[in-house]
Amino acid sequence: MPGRGEHTRQLIIDSALRLFRERGYAQTTMRAVASEAGVSVGNAYYYFDSKEHLVQEFYDRLQAEHRTAAEPVLRQESDFGPRLHGVLTAWLDVARPYHAFAAKFFKVAAEPDSPLSPFSAASSAPRDAAVGLLREVLEGSTAKVDADLRAELPELLWLVELGVVLYWVHDSSPEQARTRLLIDRAVPLVNRLVGLSRLRVLRSVSRDIVSLSRALRGGTAEALGRAEGSADPDRRR
C-alpha cells in the first residue's frame, strides 16, 4: 500500500491531468494544480519543480503502463511482425483515456525548444524506455536482420511509433479505428523491409539507413547540448 507521500504525489499528478484536460496546458499553473489537489503550493513544488515535471511524470506513467500491457505479446510471440503489432496496439489501449486532451499536449510538445518534446533532454527517460521496449521486440524475435541495421533498428522503430502517435492525436474516428488500421497495414510493410535487409542487393540501402540514423542522432545530441546550455533555469509558474 503506497505511503502518504506517494499518495500525495499521485493526487497532484491526477489533479494536473484533470486541469490539463479542462483548461489546456498553457492555462494550468502550479498554483491551480495545488488548489485542485488540496495541498499548499509549497507542497506541490516539494514533489515537482514545475508543471513540465508533472508532464514528464505523466510520460513515465504512460510508458510504464505500456510496458505492462505489452508483456503478454512479448511472452507469447516470437515472430517480429506480431510482436511489433502487439506493442503498438498496446500503446493505443493504454493511451485511449488520454486521447481527448492529447492534442493540447501536442501543441506544446511540437515546439522545437519545448522540454515536453519527445526529442528533448528532459524526455530522455521515457524516450529511452520506449526505445528499450522496441529493442525487446526485436531481440526477442526470430527476425534475421543485417548486423549494422540491428543496432539502429530500435530507434528507427521508435520513429515509426512516433508517426503512429502523431496520427492518433489527430484521429477523430470512433475509438481511433483509423489508427488501428494504420498499424494493421504498416506493420507488415515494416516486417517485410526488416526481413529484406539481409539480402545482398539491399545491403547498400541498409548501410545508407544506418549512416543517416547515426548522423541524425549525432546532430540531435549536439542540438540538445546547445539547448541545455541556453535553457531558462527558472520555468516555475
Written in H, E and C, the secondary structure of 29-46 is: CHHHHHHHHCCCHHHHHH
Q: Is residue 237 part of a domain?
A: no
- Give, in order, the Cα–Cα distances in Å from 16 to each of 9, 50, 79, 113, 144: 11, 11, 40, 22, 45
Q: Give me the chain's average pLDDT, please.
A: 84
110 and 198 belong to one structural domain? yes
Does pLDDT of 213 surpass 80? no
Q: Which amino acid is at 178?
A: R
Judge if 86 and 145 occupy the same domain: yes
Asked if residue 66 belongs to a domain, the reply is yes
Range of the domain at 165: 52-230
Q: Give me the pLDDT at residue 191, please.
A: 93
As a whole number of Å, the end-to-end CA separation of the chain is: 32
Q: What is the pLDDT of residues 29-69, one digit of tens each?
A: 999 999 999 999 999 999 998 888 888 888 898 999 999 99
Which is nearest to 28 in space by CA: 44, 4, 47? 44
pLDDT value at residue 232: 47
237 contact partners, CB below 8 Å, separation of at least 6? 29, 30, 31, 50, 51
236 within some domain: no
Specify the CATH number for the domain of residue 28: 1.10.10.60
Let me know whether 128 and 183 are in one domain: yes
Q: Are residues 80 and 140 in the same domain?
A: yes
Q: Are residues 81 and 113 in the same domain?
A: yes
Report the pLDDT value the prediction gives residue 15, as an integer from 0 to 100.
Answer: 92
Highest mean pLDDT among 19-33, 73-87, 97-111: 73-87
| CA distance linking residue 41 with residue 6, whole number of Å | 17
Cβ neighbours of residue 71 under 8 Å, at least 6 residues apart? none
Give the residue from 44, 48, 89, 49 showing the smallest Cα distance to 186: 89
Q: Are 158 and 127 in contact (CB under 8 A)?
A: yes
What CATH number has the domain bearing residue 201?
1.10.357.10
- Please give the model's pTM, rounded to 2 decimal places: 0.80
93 contacts 85 by C-beta, under 8 angstroms: no
Check whether residue 89 and residue 168 sit in a common domain: yes
Mean pLDDT of 162-172: 94
Domain membership flag for residue 187: yes
Domain count, the chain: 2
- In this structure, the answer to whether residues 78 and 8 fall within a common structural domain is no
* Phi (first) and psi of residue 100, to 5 degrees: -60, -30
- pLDDT category of residue 101 using cuts at 50, 70 and 90: confident
